[in-house]
Amino acid sequence: MIEQTPFKWRHFQPEIILLCVRWYVRYALSYRDLEEMMAERGLPVDHTTIFRWVQRYAPELEKRCRPYLKACNDSWKVDETYSKVKKVWMYLYRAVDSQGNTLEFLLSPTRDAEAATRFFDKALHVSTCSAPLNHPIEEPVAQPLISTDPITTAVPRLINVDKNAAYPKAIADLKAAGVLPLHVELRQVKYLNNLIEQDHRFIKRLTKPEWAFSRLRRPGEPSKDSR
């Protein structure tokens, strides 16, 4: 059986669709910005159409590009910052390696050991670093604290965090569960996290045109947006 092209039945050419999706996830642009930019190029594309393209193709692009991205190193820097989701402040957990490559992110309504454990468990099961995302599309809120997937493809040697008391408890729980090796060192020195602290500004600058994130998606919920 021949696999159908993902762009079948689309009115616009694949090159135009991919260009709009790439610009949206890479630069600080809104859907209406892209609508105006396409109109200047003689392409009347409605901003809601671009929104549907992003929801459909951005996850697929991330999935296909991930195996070809630069492998991350074993020195992690983890921190959390604030961001709004539908006018409600949420915590955005992020991890980068010592080169500034983004490992993983997680949106959580709470800032505690349970949220930290969930974030580390998610980050430990990625094989390569992902490029910084402009608009994260999904965020599980209620998921198992310890993953049942036995394959751990990214194991850090060192994890740098701030003085948040939730991190030592989360690391201890993961080591006790056998998810994190016992030799992994947790280092709570705030100034060593300057790299990710500065990187937060880059993420917030990108999300500003969309007034932060639009919503939190629950596990199993279809890809929709309330905007």
> Is 0.85 topped by the overall pTM?
no
Q: Which helix (H) or strand (E) holds 186?
A: strand 185-188
Question: Same domain, yes or no, for 38 and 108?
Answer: no
What's residue 207's pLDDT? Answer: 65
Tell whether 161 is covered by a domain. yes
3-state secondary structure labels for all residues of 205-219: HHHHHHCCECCCCCC
Tell whether 1 is covered by a domain. no
Tell whether 4 is covered by a domain. no
b/e code 154-172 from CB counts within 10 Å (16+ = b): bebeebbbbebebbeebbe
**How far is residue 26's CA from residue 17's CA, in Å, rounded to a whole number?**
14
Are 129 and 103 a contacting pair, CB within 8 Å?
yes
Task: Residue 120: give the domain boundaries.
Answer: 70-210
| Domain containing residue 98: CATH number | 3.30.420.10
Question: Same domain, yes or no, for 21 and 117?
Answer: no
Question: Same domain, yes or no, for 49 and 75?
Answer: no
Q: Specify the number of domains making up the chain.
A: 2
What's residue 152's pLDDT? Answer: 35
What's residue 212's pLDDT? Answer: 47
For residue range 66-90, list pLDDT tens digits in order.
777 666 788 999 988 888 777 788 8
Helix, strand or coil for residue 67?
helix
Question: Same domain, yes or no, for 57 and 148?
Answer: no
Question: Same domain, yes or no, for 57 and 124?
Answer: no
134: amino acid identity, one letter? N
Domain end position, chosen among 28, 45, 67? 67
Tell whether 203 is covered by a domain. yes
Tell whether 216 is covered by a domain. no
Domain end position, chosen among 34, 67, 100? 67
Question: Same domain, yes or no, for 53 and 77?
Answer: no
What's residue 222's pLDDT? Answer: 54
Question: Same domain, yes or no, for 51 and 80?
Answer: no
pLDDT under 50: residue ranges of the chain = 1-2, 127-153, 211-212, 224-227
What's residue 129's pLDDT? Answer: 47
